[in-house]
Amino acid sequence: MTPSPVFRSPKAWAEFYDTHVVNPLVQENRFLAMSWSTPGRLLPFSKAKQILPDPFWAEHDTTIDCYWRAWELAFQNLKQPTAKNDFVSNYCDSAFNGNLFMWDAAFVTAYGLYGRRAFNFQGTLDNFYRKQHPDGFICREIAESNGQDTFQRFDPSSTGPDVLGWAEWNYYLKTGQKERLEAVFAPLLAYHQWLRRYHTWPDGSYWSTGWGCGMDNLPRVESPDDVNWSHGNLTWVDATLQAILSARVLLEMGLVLGRQAELGDVREELQRLSKFVNKFLWDEERQFYCDRRPDGHLSSMKHIGAYWALLARCVPPKRLRGFVNHLDNPVEFNRLHRIPALSADDPAFQGMGDYWCGGVWAPTNYMVLKGLDQNGQQELAHQIALNHVSNVVQVFTLEDTHWEGAEQFQQFFHLDGLQFDDKHTLWENYAPDHARPGGKSKPGYVGWTGLPPIAVLFEDVFGLDPQPLSQRLTWRIRLLEAHGIRRYPLGDEGLVDLKCESRKSLDEIPQVEIHSNMPLTLDIIWEGGAATLKIEKES
């Protein structure tokens, strides 16, 4: 994520015509009608720690240390709105350059939801809805100092990736808070419609840029000088797949809210784009989804953006195995630290990462894991998650990371004079072929790197899947060591203590101990067996 230049504020552009094509949905955006007021106080980490989920994992003390360090760093990045920036909710800073980033914030919510009793991380997204334009546009990067967009809306890199809807739907599924959907549905639909109007080609496929897609220096366009801000006349596979995912999420939201009648155009787009990607973006020989060049030929580059296809649920069953197999191939994505953003057989791949030219990134790893989970590939997701968390923890314990991380970061972004504490910390990205931070990686980054030690640990290592709408919790137990979580949140008020005793083999029946302040159904799954337990509320 390259820091952006600060452009002139809207006041400085007053001499130009107002070119907004007003979207009536924006009038429903309740965040625009909010007036700034003194925000609620922020809990210090010392007090929040007494409320946050408390995991344990025998023989993995450093993993638990890394978990708590991630929360500590996140709580150092909590901020309050000011009259000057006109934000409306307390938020978690992107921990990068003093600006709030759209896709960073979206991924922060994926682990932040587990800390919602101590801080409303989801409220970070409120500040993007607050800055929505009359036509539905939302800038991808907003200055925290004055609340101004850092891009004019018709700059090719002005917005994206389109993941706000997915972040909100993920929050709903894991918390059951329908009132949140009611608040965000209209601004999300208006934003989706803006992207469709201004970021598509005549065939309906989507485009972006290096900055707009978030994978800055991935050499997808022909000119290396244009890699950050040119669309290259390509159909961008990730942007198109994210549009499919956004459409699916909006349709799901519409069903919950009784607003399906408003989504005929979204339903049509979903069907049309799903056919498009499988006809025009699928490379049968390589069994992979690829960017499409203006002449209709597919790019030879295999990058992690293609795996949005799993979450978008547009991979036909007959193609799933071939597509997923790339993740297990050591020549491609199965490196020392899984999963590099760029396949290792690409000429641009760098074993130290070089940012998106092979770097391992928490948000894209999380995206792949959730896509695998959704497509019945939980065992592969567990293997990748173990590898990912293990490598993040290993780098967390290193004492000599400074040479590769902070210095390159300062040189790359021209930040001479900044001092970083780069010991026992988390990093913006990681090297795929070394137990090191990635090249040009920022230390102390939480930020989205809170994902592996928190959300990935809970969901794909421990195997917990909450379903608060049905007061149900699924636990896929794959570990042999004793493990569990105290104060695991379920729904609005639920708190569950879970413990699994150590086992000698994977097929041994797990011995679990459960305490809950609400009645729930617990589904336990292990190798070769399953059981359902009815847990009564404890007084």
pLDDT digits (tens, 9 = 90+) for 463-503: 999 999 999 999 999 999 999 999 999 998 999 999 999 99
For residue 7, what pLDDT is reported?
42
Residue whose token pair is 């990067």: 141
Give me Rg for the CA atoms of the chain: 22
Q: What token pair was written down for 38?
A: 């003194």
Helix, strand, coil content of the chain in percent (nearest 5):
40, 15, 45
In angstroms, what CA-CA distances link 506 with 43, 388, 459, 500? 41, 21, 18, 13
Q: What is the mean pLDDT of residues 232-246?
A: 97
For residue 5, what pLDDT is reported?
43
Pick 411 or 13 by higher pLDDT: 411
d(CA 28, CA 160): 22
For the beta carbon of residue 178, count every other beta carbon within 10 angstroms: 12
Q: What is the mean pLDDT of residues 307-332?
A: 98
Give the phi and the psi of residue 302 in degrees, each rounded to 5.
Answer: -105, 110
Task: Give me the percent of the chain exceeding a pLDDT of 70.
Answer: 92
Taking Cα atoms as reference points, which of 154, 113, 134, 139 lies closest to residue 29? 134
For the beta carbon of residue 13, count every other beta carbon within 10 angstroms: 12
Element (H, E) at 288: strand 288-289
Pick 385 or 38 by higher pLDDT: 385
> Per-residue b/e over 201-211, b at no fewer than 16 CB within 10 Å?
beeebbbbbbb
d(CA 228, CA 444): 24
SS3 annotation, 51-82: CCCEEEECCCHHHHHHHHHHHHHHHHCEECCC
Q: Are strands 99-101 and 141-143 parallel, antiparallel or unpaired?
A: antiparallel
pLDDT tens-digit readout, 326-346: 999 999 999 999 999 999 999
Task: Give me the percent of the chain exceeding a pLDDT of 90.
Answer: 85
pLDDT tens-digit readout, 175-201: 999 999 999 999 999 999 999 999 999
For residue 41, what pLDDT is reported?
85
- The answer, yes or no, to whether residue 14 has pLDDT greater than 90, is no
Residue whose token pair is 């208006």: 190
Pick 10 or 536 by higher pLDDT: 536
pLDDT tens-digit readout, 88-133: 999 999 877 889 999 999 999 999 999 999 999 999 999 999 999 9
For residue 413, what pLDDT is reported?
46
